[in-house]
Structure formats: structure tokens, C-alpha cells
Structure 1
Amino acid sequence: MDQTIRVLHSEDYPHLEAMDTGIEDDYVKRIFSRLITGNNRLYGFFLDGQMVSMGGYSIYAKRYAMLGRLRSDRRYKGNSFATTLMSHMINEAFQLNDIQWVGANTQEHNTAACRVMAKIGLTPYSTLHGAITKDTSALESGSKLWNPVTDIQRKKDWVQEMYATSASVFPYECYYTFPISKDLFQEHDLRQWSFYENEAKTRALITKYDQKKHHYLHTVYPWNDITSQKGLWETISNDYRQLAKQTEEETYIWMDITKEAALSLPTGHQFELPSPWILYGMDKSKWLKY
């Protein structure tokens, strides 16, 4: 059998169409042309000319490569083609000069995918719920909104305080969390993101706009005391209402929260809490020794 792994191009779309993945209305098919250009790459594992597995990566902040879009033909499962393909993509990503970390996300309940991560040398960094809602009323008490932070140096100071430890991870976008580095906090981003601090100046909140399938107010708050900070949810809700008016389309609040924070949510909360996502990864120094 002839086995080949190679980068996919526009003319390879029929190979994706021919795969039996069992996925109805696959978004990868809709945006295939975008996933093969710019900071995105797709790779195919071919067996005797037929694509039996596909995956890719996207580059963020020039430093990080996130694996994903893994698709396998159900007729060829059990042959470790996807594992081989992911190992190949890790090596390809680290060949790029600027890439210092490669990772992937999988949901905690997907034990098969977790085993694959271990096989290809990726280790867990964090476990977080991608909590989504349109209604924060169960967490609001009518408290005063937090104070906006506009001074760029004050924003930098808050970033330093919020993510002071080397083990921290930062939700750079919805679905995409990365280990901390200065590359995640470019000055043009800090100017664009909204920062708020409470009256006592002991806590800060970051809100920013993101769009995946829907529009999101992406809220960043790294502490677990999400139910006891007065004014936090009033501030988030105020920004959310403004964004929803602007988009006039399906819009949600997104917050990445720990299991501990999720357990603290009050009865009757309106958050969707799917199985938490585990972030796996490997830095370049480990790959060089691997």
C-alpha cells in the first residue's frame, strides 16, 4: 500500500468530499478555501491515492500552532492513520522558525482523543469549560458597574497581575487558549480590548469581541470568585447588550471557567456548560529532545 502525507490545496476538495466522516453539515467543507491559506494549513493522509485522514493547524500570535480539523474516514478507522498524521503535523509546525509551542484541544469526555494526545507527546496544560450564555440575571444584584481602564500602562500592569505565573494560560480567542507569553499581549490588542477594575482595584475584567459561527463577547476573568464579585456581571451584561445591538445577529457571552468556578454557579443559571476542554501541548525545547 502506498502511503503519503502532504499539504492540501484547492484542487484537493473532492478528496474531502469523498471521505465518509459521519459528520453532517461539516463546517470544514464550508470554509475549506480559508483553511489552506494565510496562517492555516491542512494536511491529508493518502492511502493508494485516497484520503483517509485529514487535519491541520492554525498559527496564532506568530508563536503558537494549534492542531485541529481532524477528520477520519470511518471505513479506515483503527489503523492509527490520524495519530500518524498528527505527529507529522507537529513536526511540520515546529519546522517554522517562529513557532515555539504546538497544541490541541479535546473535550474531557473524549477519552480516545486524550489517549492520542499522550501517544504523540502532548501533555495537558489546563481544563476549562467554555461557558456560554445570553442571560446573566441569576448572577446580577444591581451593583455598580466596574470602572473602565483606559491607560495602556495600567492595562499592562493588570495583565502582569492576572497572569503572573509561568504556568498560566490565556484565552486568546474563543476555543483557543495558550500558555502565557508576551506575544499574546501586543499593544494594539491591549488598546482594542476593554479592561475594567472593581472599586477596590483588587480584580480586573477583560472583554473583547470574537466571531466564530456566532458573535461573542469574549470575557476574560482568571479568578474562581465569579459569583461573589459585586458588579462583575453587571459590567459584563452591559458590554453584552451593546455588542448585541451592534451585531443584530445571534450573540453570546463566552467565559472560560474552571470546574471549581462552574460548581459555584447558582441554581437557575443560564450558562451552557459542555464537557470541559483539555488543552494539550508541547514547547519547542521538548520537541527537540523528543
Structure 2
Amino acid sequence: MSETIRKLSEEDFHFFKAMDTGIEDDYVERIFNRLTSGTHHLYGMFHDGQMICMGGYTIFADSYAMLGRLRSDRRYRGKNNATKLIASVMDQAFQEPGIKWVGANTQEDNIPARRVLEKLGLPAHTPKHGAVTKDTAVLETGGAKWRKIESLQRKKDWLEEVYMEKSAVFPYEVYYSFPASEELFQEEKVKDWSFYENEAGTRVLLTKKDQKKHHYLHAVYPWDDLAEQKGLWETIKADYEKLAREKEQEDEEETYIWMDLTKTQAAALPAGHEFKLPSPWILHGAFKEDWQKGRVGGKQLQLYSK
């Protein structure tokens, strides 16, 4: 009997289809060809010619690799296969040119996935809800909308103060957050994002457009007083309604507001709010230096298993 791990191509789709994952209507099936090209990479573990688990990574901002798409055949579970595969995939990701950080995002109630990441020695960041709504009425105060920042330098100053100086996690896309760095804040991206300041110039709101099947106004606000700032939700609502009108004319997909909320922020929402708060997502990850020194990845897995 033999066990091998190799990179997958779109020609390997039949191996994926033969797996018994227990997942109904798996989105991976619909986009398998895309997940094996461009910035997406998939790997499979094979046992006597049959694929028994699969996983991969996607590259963001040329410097970050996010692990994911872990699928296991139920007939082969319980043998540490998924952990061994993800350890190998992580090693491959760290060897990509320019990659400085590798991590994974999993929901708090996904205990098996968290166990895998624990075995690999990947530290965890603060859990955050991927909170979604269409209705902000309960949060609105009647305050004036915040003033829009037009200066590119002022936008950069805010990113430096709020994220770079604190080495904070930045919500780069819906579902995908990363430790802040200059690579995340490339000038063309920052120009395309909308920034708003409150009247006192002590708070900043960032909004940007995203699509993950549905359309989203991704609103980024890093403070806990999100239910106290006058005009904050009026500003978010105005951008959301503008985006919703645009997308209504283009296609049939729905449009939502998405915010990455810590448990403290979620608890501060007033009674009657319309946000859906699924199980929080926990970001795990490490920098290349940690991997090079054997603190994470395959070497860490060997230490864990002893």
C-alpha cells in the first residue's frame, strides 16, 4: 500500500467526485477548475490510487497564503490524514516566492478543524463574527453622515495608526483577514476604498465592495463604541443603499452589509438589531520566520505527536 501527496489539476476532478465527504451541495464541486489555477492551489492525499483527503491555499496580496478547502473521505477518517496533508500544504505555501505569512480561518464551533491547526502550532487571533444584515434602523441615531476622506495620505495615516502600529488584524476581504502590512495596503487598493471620519476626527470608518456569491458592502470599524457614534450607521447605510441600487440593475444576487465583529462589539449591539451572528471565525497563522525555525508546520506536528 502506498500514500502520496501531490498537486491537483482540473483533470483530477473525478478523484474529488469519488470521495465520500458527506457534504451536500459542496461549492468546491462547482468551482474545482478555478481552485486549481491562478492564485489557487489544491493538493490531494492518495492511498493506493484513491484520493482520501484534499486541501489547498489561495494567495492574497502576493504575500499571504490562506489554507482551506479541506475535504476528507469519511471512509478514511481518524488516521491523522487531514493533519498530515495540511502540514504538507503549509510547507508548500511557505516555499512560494514572496510568501511571508500562512494561516487558516475556521469557525469556533468547528472543533476538528481547530484541532488540526492546533497540531500544526498555528497561533489564534481574536474570534470575530462574520456579521451580516440589510437593516441598520435600530442602530441609526439621526446624526449627520461622516465626512469622506479624499486625501490618499490621510487614508494611509489612519491605516498606519489603527492597524500597522498595533500589528492588528485587518479585514482584507469578506472571510479573509490578515495581519496588517504594507503589502495589504497597496496604493491602488487604498484609493478604491472609502474612508470617513467623525466630526471630531477621532474615529474612522472604512467601506469597500466585495462579492462572495452575494454582494457585500464590507464595513470596517475597529472600535467597541459602534452603537454610540452618531452618524456612523447613517454613513454605512448610505453606502450600502448605493451599492444595492447598482447591483439590482446588474444581476439577481442579493446585497448585504458585512462587518467583522469581535464578541465585545457584538455584545454592544442594541436589542432588536438585525445582524445575523453565526459562530465566530478564528484566524490562525504564522510568519515565515516561525516556519523556518520549526515552530509551526510539519516539524511542530512531529513534536506534538510524540
The TM-score by the shorter chain falls in which range? over 0.9
Tell me the residue number matched to 1:259.
263
Deviations 1:55-94 (A, max 9, x none): 1100001110000010011111101111000000110011
Tell me the residue number matched to 1:276.
280
Find the aligned partners of 1:186 and 1:38 in 2 and give their Cα distance.
Answer: 20
Find the aligned partners of 2:84 and 2:278 in 1 and give their Cα distance.
Answer: 29
Tell me the residue number matched to 2:302.
none
Q: How does 1:16-27 map to 2 (within 5 A)?
A: 16-27=16-27
TM-score by length of 1: 0.98
Find the aligned partners of 1:4 and 1:111 in 2 and give their Cα distance.
Answer: 26
**Equivalent AA in structure 2 for residue 96 of structure 1:** E
5+ residue gaps, structure 1: none
The Cα of 1:143 is off from its aligned counterpart by 1.0
Residues 62 and 98, structure 2, Cα contact 8 Å, conserved in 1: yes
Find the aligned partners of 2:286 and 2:154 in 1 and give their Cα distance.
Answer: 32
The Cα of 1:166 is off from its aligned counterpart by 4.0
Tell me the residue number matched to 2:300.
none
Deviations 1:142-174 (A, max 9, x none): 110000101111111111122143430000000
Deviations 1:82-130 (A, max 9, x none): 1000000110011112001000011111222212111112111221111
Find the aligned partners of 1:200 and 1:71 in 2 and give their Cα distance.
Answer: 49
- List structure 1 segments (4+ residues) > 2 angstroms apart after TM superposition: 164-167
Identity of aligned residues (%): 60
Q: How does 1:180-219 map to 2 (within 5 A)?
A: 180-219=180-219
Find the aligned partners of 1:286 and 1:166 in 2 and give their Cα distance.
Answer: 20
Tell me the residue number matched to 2:153.
153
Tell me the residue number matched to 2:163.
163
Tell me the residue number matched to 1:139.
139
Alignment size in residue pairs: 290
Find the aligned partners of 1:55 and 1:165 in 2 and give their Cα distance.
Answer: 34
The Cα of 1:8 is off from its aligned counterpart by 0.4
Q: How does 1:213-232 map to 2 (within 5 A)?
A: 213-232=213-232
Q: Which moved more, 1:121-130 or 1:46-55?
A: 121-130
Residues 16 and 51, structure 1, Cα contact 8 Å, conserved in 2: yes
SS in 1 for 2:210: strand
**Equivalent AA in structure 2 for residue 206 of structure 1:** L
Aligned: 1:287 with 2:287: no
Residues 164 and 181, structure 2, Cα contact 8 Å, conserved in 1: no
Find the aligned partners of 1:151 and 1:166 in 2 and give their Cα distance.
Answer: 22
Aligned: 1:242 with 2:246: no
Tell me the residue number matched to 1:68.
68
5+ residue gaps, structure 2: 295-306
SS in 1 for 2:125: strand
